[in-house]
Structure 1
Amino acid sequence: MNGTGAPHDPTGTGSARPRLWHFSLHRPRRTLAAAALLCAVFACLTPGLFDRLASGGFTATGTPSEHAAAVADRYGAGRADLLLVLRPEPGRLDEPEVAGAGQRFAARLAREPGVDRVRSAWDGASPGLRSGDGRRALVLVDLAGGESDTARTAQRLVPEYSGRQGPFAVRAAGPAWALAQATRQAQHDLLRAELLAGPVVLAVIAIALRSLVAALLPVLLGGFAVLGAFAVLRALSAVTEVSVFATNLVGALGFGLAVDYALFVVARFREEHRPGVTARAAAAASLRTAGHTVVVSACLVCCALAVLFLFPFPFLTSMAWAGIVVVVLAALAATLLLPAWLVLLGDRVGRFDPLARVPWAPRPTVGGDSPLWRRIAREVTRRPVRYGSACAVLLVLMVAPFTSAHLGLADENVLPPHAEARTTAHLVQREFGFDPQRTLAVVLPRASAGDGQRAADGARAVTGAGPGGGGALDAYARRAGALPGVAAVRQGGSGPRGGGAVLLVTPSAAPQSGPAGDLVRDLRALPSPGPAYVSGWPAQVLDAREALASRLPWALLLVALGTAGVVHAFTRSVLVPLKVVAVGALSLTAVFGALVFVFQEGHLTWLVGGVTATGTLDMTIPLLLFCVAFGLSVDYELFLVSRVQEAYRRTGDNTGAVVRGIARTGRLFTAAALAVAVAMAALATSRVLLLKELGFGLALAVLVDATLVRGVLVPAVMRLAGHANWWAPGRKPGRAGPAGDGGGPPRGGTAAAGAGSVAGADGETSGDLAQAARKSSAAF
């Protein structure tokens, strides 16, 4: 029974969750045996995962450019999936022997399974496929299927058709080959990241907990979460598209969150497990406090990731699924499997201190104050305006580069500088005046087939190549060529039965630049003889930006409302949820500024192993980074606020509670942030630029949040807000609401609350809690 006469609930809830926790605490061996069996099932489901994963999904779906691309494909004017550069050695392209070899090469390639169409410099119908010096020729290959199918076909064809082929030296490029190389690199980087992160994370936790046994538990839970997520993704791949890069997110986020959650629960258990308290009672108290906060935190992270479903990017959708699955599994492992281990290990969880033989090492303490963080908290709360303003200014300065962010889509530049798809694409851009990968195709289905030559003549007149012709199509071509930003206009052929026409418009600006987007808008607004469909890479980039911009306000609103609502339910405060949202947004936009500074502008690239600045950021990465990092930010906030609120209920002293909360959580926050940052930084070692940006951004976000935000900005704001932190309509002054445990007796003191306590981070043991834990052991 508790102090109110109600039956005592050690978990603090009346839901189904206590029954699951009850089984874990009272049947630990059966729980772990079931987990081992489940791991065996996961291991059986995981093989073949990478063969089923998608390679693309970076462009927006349901856009005008997607529809136009389908029309262009029917007219043979679609963007080629594979591009082969042929250089005769020796000889020239117009020599009979070389031309014959080129025609035979194209014909043999056209007979390959999975190849829809081949265009070459020797077929007479594809102008512009020779370099300016006449030494190189292009062969454009259209492949069957979606992005993943074309990438697999390219993976099969390129090794066979590149290198020395008769009189030619052949190199490959194109979106299909770039995706194939990125997929292979991502798989290699996943294994390397796990091998790098595992030992370092284990060392960080072992030093933080001063126990090798305790440190092994979070790593084991991380392995369970990652393996389980791989199995679930394998099943999901049968019904929806799952990106190959989702496995990299699962590896980093799974280990990071599992370590994060387990670190707090293990620390709480070691604090509770004192003389006279059984291992089962200590584990029960840990679940009621830190365990409950883990569940709420996981819900918040999942809600943040679910916002990604709003955006029409298959890549983001698959990343959302992957993130949600691994977060749920990490939380389940921390609240079901970890307590079973703790009950079985008992006192042995603290064995094998790695610093036991180090003479200068401090005495191990679990749940104790950090002198360093206490001094920092006291200084910040003594001068909150000075330190809070300085921290806010620093974060705003970090935000500044983001104002010049230029968002684009992933292309061959995400590959390492030496990758064949990237170097060959740059060669084509330098040597060929006509770049088929960046040209806009304007399809005019109702244009008269008889006007085709007149249109070509009119286009040549616009570009200074000859006299113009007449007719509506001719007039349209001349108007198109006169638009700002047009470098050239060419006739691109006609429809399947000779009807309609295709004009190929080459922008003078880079395909992901603002002027290229303006040209797409101008072409779509240009009066035309019948409907005009504008397709091509610049059109896809423009439509993706507009799709993102139209949905972004709703996504941000949903994240803010969802976070504020859950934090309010957790704290019963009005001001704290607003602070959580505002501070989280400020710290994350500062990280976005760092991304622009390093990856777009090319400063301090040695931090990430050296990269070549591309002048753009892939637009999907800031979205993904925001959702994941915001969830992690709120994760730390919940643990900190619950600790501060617990101290405030006991004393009624807001400033003292803030200092107490920072002092008691600082050491664990530092360790947890380092562990998560190491897992994310391992992702940043990838040679794929997308993964490098994501890993760098998440690692920096965690470190900034655990130091500047939690150590300086949050205590300064809470000190200035005073008792208003805990105000809510209908609450009496000096009375804080529940911290999320669902109810319990008042704690006593000047600010005793009618709801129970949820300890944050490392947790805090009070006499009545330990007594309640001992009394509740029989109930479990």
Structure 2
Amino acid sequence: MFERMAELAIRRSRLVLIVAVLAVALMGVVGAGAFGKLKGGGFDDPASPSTRAAEVIGDKFGGETNLVLLVRSPEGRIDTPASAETGRDLVADLKKDERLGNIVSYWETDNPDLRSKDGREAMVLAHVRGDTTEQRKNSIEILDTYSGTYKDALTVRAGGGAAVGADVSNQVFEDLILAEAIAIPLTLILLMIVFGSVVAALLPLVIAIIAIIGSFAQLFLFGSITDVADTATNLTTALGLGLGIDYALLMVSRFREQLTAGASVDDAVRRTVHTAGRTVAFSAATVAAALAALLVFPHYFLRSMGFTGVGVVVIAALSTLFVMPALLKVLGHRVNSGRLPWAKPQRSDAGTPLWGRLARTVMRRPVFTALPVLAVLLFAASPLLNISFGTPDERVLPKDAESRQVSQVLRQNFGGSEDSALHIVIGQSVAEAPLASYAGQLAALQGVERVETSTGTYTAGQSTATGPANPALGRPDAQRISVMSGLTPKSEAAESLVKRVRSVTPPPGSHPLVGGNDAVLVDAKESIAAKLPLAGALIVLTTFLLLFLFTGSVVQPLRALVLNLISLGATLGVMTWIFDDGNLSSLLGFTAQPMEMTMTVLMFCIAFGLSMDYEVFVTSRIKELHDQGADNETAVVDGLGHTGRIVSAAAVLLAVSFFAFGTAKLSFMQMFGLGSGLAILIDAIAVRGVLVPAAMRLLGRSAWYAPGFLRTFHGRYGLSEGGPEPTPAPGPAAATPAHPENSTRV
């Protein structure tokens, strides 16, 4: 397969490039509509009780309250005649808006819970109609229409889930633009430093741009047939930029190395595809396998990250394997054109003394050098002992976001906010007496301030009003119950209340479903915990199989898995220390809160895949030397000497594309960017530089062990870096670097 790829690039290079240009143009046209296909949210399990409760409330009662308009009177009190009249006019306008339903206001109900404690503000509750995509669009339009000053008499601010979702969607786009504006120029500068040549530096960026454009095209296609989270744009662009550069960097470096060794352009292309191309294919397979594990989760946020992530990996790999060899063939020795002043002539061995010396030092004293690194990584992982998890809410937004400010006001100035309410729905007819008894039991639970039903309002286990308090909560075939509490949303106490509410004996023959933000959190934890073992097993099995096929050893996959878990534990520990414990919150401008579960799972899978990316980079060269007859120590030292600079450069470049998201205003995107970037650097420096050579030294010959039957299997089906080494042309060219005046060291 790789032989045919090389020959295609050599014989039909210009045709390959023409097809690539046309494909990129087509992908650009298709990808232009990607943002219109994406959805917000996706953090909930569609089969969970809380999600089903929301669906029943939508079917039977027109939907839960997801928009809260906070109305303030500049005159002082909200119930003065002038303010009340203007407030009723506002409500009348809202009821005419077909995008809204279930509108409830203070001026219509005189419900004191809809008025602030100081009497200056009142709430208007509503439901924004439509599915997730329509709700996002409608919410943005509604906020533009009603937020601000109404009739020069009242100020209106928007909060609630719909407003938070609209703010998050807008912020995702802004964060993406800023991150890419930082990452792309900085990446180009770093590539020039690494290569010392303008042309060589531009080649990886070409592949990265193809991968990014392709990622938007696939987002449009996937978004047309299934649910795709809007934050997938951030993942795919970061992955496309980083992996495109990583893979192209490896190919360009190997090609220049072959030219420096005296090979002809055609032979250099062949050897590059045989070796670096094969490494790219295996590396892409390991990253894709880790991301594919996300498909086992029911949350469409994670699922969409899974299939779009795999898609962008495939695009980056294919463009590297087909487009890059054709570019190298066309350019030939001109790949070194545009030499920069600091560039040094590239040596024929293309090794890096620093990494080789480090590997030799570690292998001479593996325990002495590895133990301090292990101690630091384990210490960094220690905050995981106290990790807590949550789901996204308004606190992921910057403090000046209107929806976040409204949520804070609701908690501080109103008795029992919608954010902390539990919404119970019974999808069948319930007699008044059993319903009243059930509501009384709920109201008697610790932490409950009041319970609202169609039969009345209940506090401390007793009814506080006669007759129906809110007839809209009852239907002949269904009943709604609102459980209001003063507990901090998403706290341990709030989660405990959800479980106690679900344990209360319901009216005979009924099957209540409990929803609300805190119920969503409880269900999300249970759902993810239930799928984690399967996802972990898939990652381990696929990684083990791929690395075995690549190395022919059963020890190398185990060694790689253990070291990866140590480095990822350190990364997650640092992120817990920062974002869960709140350290560096003032510097980074976020509010400390529990680790967002789906984003933590996503970060783990991406970081694991990228760690295996560098595992393949390093192991491929070590195995190549080992297969050529080098002893274990020589293979490791020379292998790291040849790949150390490439891996470290690739790691820095890939980390930059993720660290750029540290500038995001959304805290979970900050965590994703900083965590992924940190994981890459820890793996490339601490693991590849110290722990891998130490482990290889301690394992000795057993590092390449496999049972006899597996060796036979690998000999028949394994896909290691084979392929003949092209013979350099005879004469001076075999010993003299071609065009040394334009060669640079990588």
Whether TM-score is above 0.5 comes out as yes
Superposed displacement of residue 91, structure 1: 4.5
Superposed displacement of residue 479, structure 1: 2.3
For residue 180 of structure 1, give the secondary structure of its aligned residue in structure 2. helix
Superposed displacement of residue 652, structure 1: 4.4
C-alpha distance in structure 1 between counterparts of 2:669 and 2:155, whole Å: 32
Of 601, 609, 614, the residue aligned with 1:623 is 601
C-alpha distance in structure 2 between counterparts of 1:474 and 1:188, whole Å: 49
Superposed displacement of residue 78, structure 1: 5.0
Superposed displacement of residue 299, structure 1: 1.3
**RMSD of the alignment, in Å?**
2.4
Closer, same or farther: CA 741–265 of 1 in aligned 2, 3 Å: farther
Unaligned runs of 5+ in 1: 1-14, 452-470, 744-755, 759-767, 775-780
C-alpha distance in structure 2 between counterparts of 1:550 and 1:63, whole Å: 12
Q: 1:146-545 residue pairs with structure 2 within 5 A? A: 146-166=131-151, 167-274=153-260, 277-354=263-340, 356=341, 358=342, 363-365=345-347, 368-444=350-426, 448=430, 451=432, 471-491=433-453, 493-494=470-471, 495=473, 497=475, 501-529=479-507, 530-545=510-525
Which amino acid letter does the alignment assign opposite residue 654 of structure 2? V
Cα distance per residue 1:699-739 (max 9 Å; x no partner): 10110000011111111111100000111112899x99779
Closer, same or farther: CA 32–499 of 1 in aligned 2, 3 Å: closer
C-alpha distance in structure 2 between counterparts of 1:732 and 1:102, whole Å: 77
For 1:724, the equivalent position in structure 2 comes to: 702
Decide whether the 8 Å contact of 2:415 with 2:486 is kept in 1.
no
Decide whether the 8 Å contact of 1:486 with 1:507 is kept in 2.
yes
For residue 704 of structure 1, give the secondary structure of its aligned residue in structure 2. helix
2:51 matches 1:50: no
Which amino acid letter does the alignment assign opposite residue 478 of structure 1? G
For 2:114, the equivalent position in structure 1 comes to: 129
For 2:546, the equivalent position in structure 1 comes to: 566
Which amino acid letter does the alignment assign opposite residue 69 of structure 2? L
C-alpha distance in structure 1 between counterparts of 2:661 and 2:269, whole Å: 33
2:71 matches 1:115: no
2:654 matches 1:676: yes
Of 512, 535, 538, the residue aligned with 1:555 is 535
C-alpha distance in structure 1 between counterparts of 2:486 and 2:76, whole Å: 32
C-alpha distance in structure 2 between counterparts of 1:353 and 1:71, whole Å: 67
Superposed displacement of residue 517, structure 1: 1.8
C-alpha distance in structure 2 between counterparts of 1:368 and 1:31, whole Å: 29
Superposed displacement of residue 411, structure 1: 1.2
Decide whether the 8 Å contact of 1:570 with 1:738 is kept in 2.
no
Superposed displacement of residue 503, structure 1: 2.9
Q: 1:637-648 residue pairs with structure 2 within 5 A? A: 637-648=615-626
C-alpha distance in structure 2 between counterparts of 1:264 and 1:739, whole Å: 27
2:70 matches 1:85: yes
Closer, same or farther: CA 81–508 of 1 in aligned 2, 3 Å: closer
Which amino acid letter does the alignment assign opposite residue 428 of structure 1? L
Which amino acid letter does the alignment assign opposite residue 477 of structure 1? A
Closer, same or farther: CA 126–22 of 1 in aligned 2, 3 Å: farther
Closer, same or farther: CA 422–740 of 1 in aligned 2, 3 Å: farther
Superposed displacement of residue 111, structure 1: 1.3
Decide whether the 8 Å contact of 1:399 with 1:594 is kept in 2.
yes
Which amino acid letter does the alignment assign opposite residue 524 of structure 1? R
Cα distance per residue 1:171-224 (max 9 Å; x no partner): 111111211122122212222222211121112122212211111000011001
For residue 122 of structure 1, give the secondary structure of its aligned residue in structure 2. helix
Cα distance per residue 1:335-355 (max 9 Å; x no partner): 10000010011111012232x
Cα distance per residue 1:398-417 (max 9 Å; x no partner): 11112222111111111111
C-alpha distance in structure 1 between counterparts of 2:594 and 2:294, whole Å: 21
For 2:47, the equivalent position in structure 1 comes to: 62
C-alpha distance in structure 1 between counterparts of 2:108 and 2:174, whole Å: 40
C-alpha distance in structure 2 between counterparts of 1:304 and 1:125, whole Å: 55
Superposed displacement of residue 477, structure 1: 2.6
Cα distance per residue 1:2-28 (max 9 Å; x no partner): xxxxxxxxxxxxx4x543443222111
Decide whether the 8 Å contact of 1:267 with 1:367 is kept in 2.
no
For residue 75 of structure 2, give the secondary structure of its aligned residue in structure 1. coil
Superposed displacement of residue 546, structure 1: 0.3
For residue 273 of structure 1, give the secondary structure of its aligned residue in structure 2. helix
Closer, same or farther: CA 169–437 of 1 in aligned 2, 3 Å: same
Mean CA deviation greater in 267-276 or 673-682:
267-276
* TM-score (normalizing by structure 1): 0.87
Cα distance per residue 1:10-49 (max 9 Å; x no partner): xxxxx4x543443222111111111111111112212232
Superposed displacement of residue 569, structure 1: 0.6
Q: 1:6-21 residue pairs with structure 2 within 5 A? A: 15=1, 18-21=3-6
Closer, same or farther: CA 205–366 of 1 in aligned 2, 3 Å: farther
C-alpha distance in structure 1 between counterparts of 2:345 and 2:434, whole Å: 87
C-alpha distance in structure 1 between counterparts of 2:163 and 2:114, whole Å: 19
For residue 276 of structure 2, give the secondary structure of its aligned residue in structure 1. helix
Unaligned runs of 5+ in 2: 455-469, 731-746
Decide whether the 8 Å contact of 2:396 with 2:590 is kept in 1.
no
* TM-score (normalizing by structure 2): 0.91
Decide whether the 8 Å contact of 1:644 with 1:657 is kept in 2.
yes
Decide whether the 8 Å contact of 1:218 with 1:258 is kept in 2.
yes
For residue 238 of structure 1, give the secondary structure of its aligned residue in structure 2. helix
Cα distance per residue 1:503-555 (max 9 Å; x no partner): 32223432222222221121112112132221111111100110000000110
Of 693, 696, 718, the residue aligned with 2:674 is 696
C-alpha distance in structure 1 between counterparts of 2:245 and 2:649, whole Å: 10
Which amino acid letter does the alignment assign opposite residue 514 of structure 1? E
C-alpha distance in structure 1 between counterparts of 2:710 and 2:572, whole Å: 41
Instruction: Tell me how many residue pairs correspond in the alignment.
Output: 711
For residue 511 of structure 1, give the secondary structure of its aligned residue in structure 2. coil
Decide whether the 8 Å contact of 1:740 with 1:757 is kept in 2.
no
Closer, same or farther: CA 131–602 of 1 in aligned 2, 3 Å: same
Decide whether the 8 Å contact of 2:422 with 2:482 is kept in 1.
yes
Decide whether the 8 Å contact of 2:32 with 2:216 is kept in 1.
no
Quick check: which one's helix share is greater? 2
Decide whether the 8 Å contact of 1:440 with 1:504 is kept in 2.
yes
C-alpha distance in structure 1 between counterparts of 2:214 and 2:267, whole Å: 29
Decide whether the 8 Å contact of 1:221 with 1:258 is kept in 2.
yes
